[in-house]
Chains A and B, each alone.
Chain A
Amino acid sequence: MSVSAGHPYVEALLQGSRGLPPSPLSWLNQRRAQALERANALTVPTTRDEEWRFTDLSPLTKMHFQPVQAAGALTLTLSDIEGMLVPEAGLRLVFVDGMFAPALSALDGLPAGMQFANFAQGFKVGAALAEKHLACHVGFDDNVFAALNTSYLRDGALITLAKGVVCAAPVHLLHIATQKEAASYPRCLLIAGSGSECMLIEDFVSLQDGAYLTNAVCEIVLEADARVRHVRLQRESLNAFHIANCAVVLEKDAVYQSHAVALGARISRHNLNVVQNGEGAEMKIDGLALISGRQLADTHTLMDHARPHGKSTQLHKCIAGGAAHAVFNGKVFVREGAQLTDSAQQSRNLLLSPKAHVDTKPQLEIFADDVKCAHGATVGQIDAEQLFYLKSRGLPEAQARNLLTYAFGAEIIDRIPVPSLVARLERTVLEQTQTGQQPS
C-alpha cells in the first residue's frame, strides 16, 4: 500500500485506521485499502473548491482528535438513552461513538425476509448483497470524507428487505456521541428489494457538548417498485462537526421520500445524491435546517434524472438566527434521454436576525428537451403583517415571532409520519426560537 505524505489533518485521522484488524471478507479489505489510498491522496477541501465555497472547514482542521475508546458503547445503559427513543419504532440499532451497542439495541420481532443488524451479524447472510453495494454508491475517489469513512469501514448498520417485504413500523438507527475530540464513522447500507417498503429513522444525537467529528456515510438502494422513507435527524452537540454523505439509487418505479432535519453541530454538511436509475422513479425530498448562534448548516443535494418519466419534488427550508449561516445547493440533473421528467424544487429561507446569513443556489442542468422543471428560491424575514396580526390579538412580540418561526418549520416537520418525532421537533423549534430571541 502506498502511503503518501497526506494532509496533516487527514494523516491524524488515518492514524487510527491503520491498526484496524483485517476483515475475513477480502472484498471489504480491498475497498478499505482503496479508500485509504484515496484518503491519503486527497486533502480537506477549502472555500476555493466550488463545492465548498460557502463552508469553511478550517475550524475542523485545527481540532485535535483522540482515538475512540470502546468504553462508551459498553457503559451506557438504556436509562441513559431513554429520552432519545422513538416509541413508534420497535426495532432499534444503537451505535455509540461509531461502535455497535447490542445492549442498547432492540432487534426482536423482525418481519420475515428483513434484516436489521450490525455488519458483523448481518454479513452472515447478507455478505453477497453487501459486496454488491457497500461503498459502491457513495464514491470516495474525490471525496476525502467518504474515503476516510470507508478506510475505517469496520461496522455499521445493514438493512435488507427481500422482495415484497413490508415493514410497517419505522426502524430506528441511533448514533450517540459520548466522547470529546473523537472522530466516529457511522455507516449504513439499506437495500430494499423489489416491491418492499420500510421507513428508516437515522438519528444523530450527543450526550455531551464537546467538539467531535461525525463522518457518516449512508447508502440506500431501492429495487423496482420499492418504497423507502428516510427520516434523518441531526441533533449533534453545538460544538460538533457533522459531515455526511448519503447516496440513494432508485430502480424502476421506486419511490424514495426523505425528511432531513439539521438542528445541531457547529458546522454540518449533508450531501444527498439521489440517482434515478430506472424509469418512472420518484423522489420527494424535504429538508429543514434550524440554526442559531454561530452554527453553519450546509445541505447539498443532487437529484439525478437518468431515465424517462422520473419525478422529483423538493422543499428545503432554512431558519437562521443569531449569526448563523445556512447553505443550500440543490442540483437537478436531467440527463439525455430522461424525457418527461417532472421536477420541482423550492428553497425557502427565513432569517431571524440581521447577522444571520443564507446562501441558496438552485442548479439545473437539463440535457433532455421534453421535461418540466420548476425551481424557486426565497429569502425573507418574519412577515410584518402576520406579526402585527398576532400582536393585535394580544400576543407578545416574542411569542408572535416564535409562532411564525414555528409555522415556517412546521410545514416540513408535520410531514414526518412519526407523531412522537413531530411533537419532539415542534418543541425543539419553539425552544430554539425562544432562546434566539430577546426576552420581551
Chain B
Amino acid sequence: MTGKNAKILLQVRDLAATVVGVEILKGINLTVRAGEVHAIMGPNGSGKSTFAKVLAGHPAYSVTGGAVQFEGQDLFALAAEARARAGIFLGFQYPVEIPGVSNSAFMRLAYNTVQGARGKEELDPLEFDDHVREKMKLLDMNPGFLDRSVNDGFSGGEKKRNEILQMALLEPRLAILDETDSGLDIDALRVVAGGVNHLRSPDNAVVLVTHYQRLLNYIVPDYVHVMDDGRIIKTGGKELALELETRGYDWVVDEYKKVGAAV
C-alpha cells in the first residue's frame, strides 16, 4: 500500500449516471492514488461495470451529476479517445469482435496514436512487430493472434489476454479492468494476473472490477470497495474480499441500511 502522499490520479465525487433514462450510478466517491490497486466488488446490477464504462466514456451512459478529475483535469471534458491518450485504459468485460480489421494493424494504430499524443516515438510496422511480440511473451500469447481480425473468433481467455496485451502496449496511468477474470480458467487467470502485476509501477494504478475473490489472490488490492445500488457502501482492505467470499454481500447491505436509518 502506498502512502497518503502519493499523487492522486483519479478523484470521483458524487458521480451519478443514467442509461436510457434509468439512474444506475447514484453518487460514487472514490480516490485512487498512484501505485494503488483498488478492487470494486458487489452483486450483479450494483453498477460496477457502468462505473467502469462511464470513466472510459462509453456513449450509452449520461453523466447526470458529480465530477471526476483525472490527474487534475476534468475527465468529462475529454472524449473517449482523448481519455485513452491521457492514460485511461478500460479492459472490456466483453472485448468487441471486429472482423476485417487486423489485430496488429489496430494495435499499431492505437499504439502510435497514444505515443504521438504523449510526445513519444512512433513505430513503423516492422519495429512495432518486434515490440508487440516482446509484449506477447509476457502473456504467453501465440504471435498468430497478430494476423487475425481483432478478437474475431477468439476464445474468452484469448480475448482477455488480448486486452492485457493492449494495456501493456498503451502503458496507461489508470487501468480499469472490468471483470477481466470472468471466463478464465485458473492457468489463464494466473497468466493474465501476472501480466497485470508486471505492468504495475509506483506511477500507475489499477481498478479491478470483479465478482470473485480469486483474482485478488493474484493481484493483491490495497482497497476493496463494495458497490450496491449505484453507490460504494463499504471500503476495506484486502481482508474484506475474503470476508465477502465467505459471508456474501447481504450483511454489508444490511449494515449500510442500518447506518442510513440511524442517520
Contact = CB atoms under 8 A, between A and B. Distances in A.
B100 A396 contact: no
A294 interface: no
A262 to B, nearest CB: 19
B117 A393 contact: no
Contacts of B80: 388, 391-392
Contacts of A384: 59-60
B110 A403 contact: no
Interface stretch (B6-14, B31-39, B66-74, B84-92): B84-92
A407 B99 contact: yes
Contacts of A404: 98, 101
Nearest to A407: B100
A141 interface: no
B57 A392 contact: yes
Interface string A407-418: 110110010000
Contacts of A27: none
A97 B23 CA distance: 65
Nearest to B95: A389
A399 B56 contact: no
Contacts of B58: 388
A397 B96 contact: no
B98 A408 contact: no
B92 A399 contact: no
A390 B56 CA distance: 12
A95 interface: no
Question: Which among B58, B79, B101 has the highest number of chain A CB atoms within 10 Å?
Answer: B101
B209 to A, nearest CB: 15
A385 B151 CA distance: 13
Contacts of A386: 96, 98
Interface in B91-121: 92, 95-96, 98-101, 106-107, 109-110, 113-114, 117
B100 A411 contact: yes
A390 B110 CA distance: 8
Chain A interface mostly: helix
Contacts of A388: 57-59, 80, 96
Contacts of B113: 393-396, 399
A391 B85 CA distance: 10
A406 interface: yes
A78 to B, nearest CB: 33
B170 interface: yes
B81 interface: yes
Contact of A399 (B89, B95, B109, B149): B109
Contacts of A393: 84, 106-107, 110, 113-114, 166, 170
Contacts of A400: 81
A427 to B, nearest CB: 14
A410 B100 contact: yes
Nearest to A399: B109
B90 A392 contact: yes
Given A392-B84, A407-B98, A410-B100, A397 B79 contact: yes
A389 B98 contact: yes
A411 B110 contact: no
B83 to A, nearest CB: 8
Question: Which among A389, A394, A397 has the highest number of chain B CB atoms within 10 Å?
Answer: A394
A386 B101 CA distance: 11
A408 B100 contact: yes
A32 B228 CA distance: 82
A414 B100 CA distance: 9
Contact of B81 (A395, A403, A406, A408): A395
Interface in B191-214: none
B151 to A, nearest CB: 9
Given A388-B59, A393-B84, A403 B106 contact: yes
Contacts of A395: 81, 109-110, 113
B109 A389 contact: no
Contacts of B56: 392
Nearest to B107: A393
A122 to B, nearest CB: 41
A281 to B, nearest CB: 30
Contacts of B101: 403-404, 406-407
A411 B99 contact: yes
A101 B45 CA distance: 71
B100 A385 contact: no
Contacts of B95: 389
B96 A394 contact: no
Question: Which among A389, A396, A410 has the highest number of chain B CB atoms within 10 Å?
Answer: A389
13 contacts: A386-B96, A386-B98, A392-B90, A393-B84, A393-B106, A393-B110, A393-B170, A394-B170, A395-B113, A396-B81, A396-B113, A407-B99, A411-B99
Interface of A: 384-386, 388-397, 399-400, 403-404, 406-408, 410-411, 414
Given A389-B92, A389-B98, A394-B114, 5 more contacts: A388-B59, A391-B57, A393-B107, A394-B170, A395-B81
